[in-house]
Structures are given as C-alpha cells and as structure tokens.
Amino acid sequence: AQSVTQLGSHVSVSEGALVLLRCNYSSSVPPYLFWYVQYPNQGLQLLLKYTTGATLVKGINGFEAEFKKSETSFHLTKPSAHMSDAAEYFCAVSGKDTGRRALTFGSGTRLQVQP
Amino acid sequence: DGGITQSPKYLFRKEGQNVTLSCEQNLNHDAMYWYRQDPGQGLRLIYYSQIVNDFQKGDIAEGYSVSREKKESFPLTVTSAQKNPTAFYLCASREETYTEAFFGQGTRLTVV
C-alpha cells in the first residue's frame, strides 16, 4: 500500500522568499516519487521525479527536491519565489513492484506568492 | 505534437443522464488512467488500463465505466449511478511503471 501526505493545504510566501512544500510518503516497496504543478483549470505538469540514484533531484523552473529515505520525505524547495510560481502542487508516489501501477497523489498544496 | 487530448473541456449533464468523456493519446503508451479531482482531495483513481482490452477498478469506480478497445483511446462514461459526478476529470498515460504520467488538460463536468 502507498500513501502521500502533504503538510499544509495552503502556503503563502513573499516574492523572492524560499519556497518549501512538504511531502511524506508511505510505501512498502522502494518508491518512485514525483512532484507535479497544476495551474487553474489545467492538467498536471511534471516538475521533477526521483527514481534511483542521486537523492537531490533538480527540476524545471528552479525547483528541486531531496529524497530522504530515513525520514520518508520528498520535500520540494525553490530558493526564490516568483509570482508565476503561484499554483497548486501535488506530490505523488509509485511503487516499483506493486500490482497496481498507478500514481498515488497527495491532497495538494496551494502556493500563494505575495508581491 | 505528442500528447493527451481530452474532450470536451466543459460538459454539462442533467441528472439521470449518462455522459462519456473522451481521452486520446498519441504517445504510444500502454497504460492509461482516469482520475477525479475535487477541491482539497487531490486526485483519486477511478479506473486504469495497462493493456488493450483490459482495465482495473481504482479507488472510486462505482458509478463509472470504461473501455479500452484501442491503445490510443480510453473513454470514461459517468453513469446515472454516480451520485455526485460534478468534478474535474483528468486522463493520464504512462510508458512504464517507473516513469512519470502525462496528463491531459481535463474535463470539467457539471450536473445541472
């Protein structure tokens, strides 16, 4: 079984401030982890993913995330927020050997960027 | 351009009617998925298919049906048995288990 918990349904930061969106996962098998972004009334776009190898993963638009197995976490960060980062962000997990090969999503975090 | 096309973008349904949401992909992916999105609940899996002529129920399959007659197409029917169908529906496809899913632009269904 897999699950994802995103702490904080809403996060507000000032433009230029650090962005930190939290994600903790539960998986009985080695996980594959993903962060997606969604703008209003649109589909989801992949920001970054962790499958194997380096635990610090860099993605698009200056975002990065670090896989910490001991903490079962995959938090998303960006050093300096931009107004265009305002959107909803979803963390997702997929297990390598699970019979159900679908991504399981967290409930999402809406990021607000204040000028 | 390769991608996933969902149609229509907006759909209105009267109570008691069945409606079908279209999802077509030209990415040559074997696996396809339907998710439902409601505010504050993230994405919940309705049905998925890993190969043509085969599909599996997800977490909230009641009141929905699907077919997978072609690799490119995975239509979702919202039946009158679905008591609360108003939601945003997202279709996705995926090449293999360890890869990311690609999403369509979604269909917003409203019951009137």
Report the alpha-carbon distance of residue A36 to residue A92 in Å, rounded. Answer: 8
H/E segment holding residue B66:
strand B64-66
Question: Are B106 and A45 within 8 A, CB to CB?
Answer: no
Judged by CB atoms closer than 8 Å, whether chains meet at A107 and B103 is answered as no
Chain B residues with beta carbon closer than 8 angstroms to that of A106: 42
Sign of CA dihedral B59, A107, B31, B75: positive
Asked whether the predicted pLDDT for residue A81 surpasses 80, the reply is yes
Q: Which residues pair with A48 in a beta bridge?
A: A35
Per-residue pLDDT of chain B (112 residues), as tens digits, is 679 999 999 999 898 899 999 999 999 999 999 999 998 788 999 999 999 999 999 999 999 999 999 999 999 999 998 889 999 999 999 987 668 899 999 999 999 8
Residues of B with CB under 8 A from a CB of A: 4, 6, 31, 33, 35, 40-45, 48, 50, 56, 58, 88, 90, 92, 94, 97-98, 100-106, 108
> How open is the CA angle A75-B43-A61, to the nearest 5 degrees?
40
Paired with A10 in beta bridges are A110
Q: CB of B89 within 8 A of CB of B107?
A: yes
Phi, psi dihedral angles at B100 (to 5 degrees): -75, 160
- Chain centroid to CA B78: 10
Quote the CA–CA distance of A89 and B88 in Å, as a whole number: 16
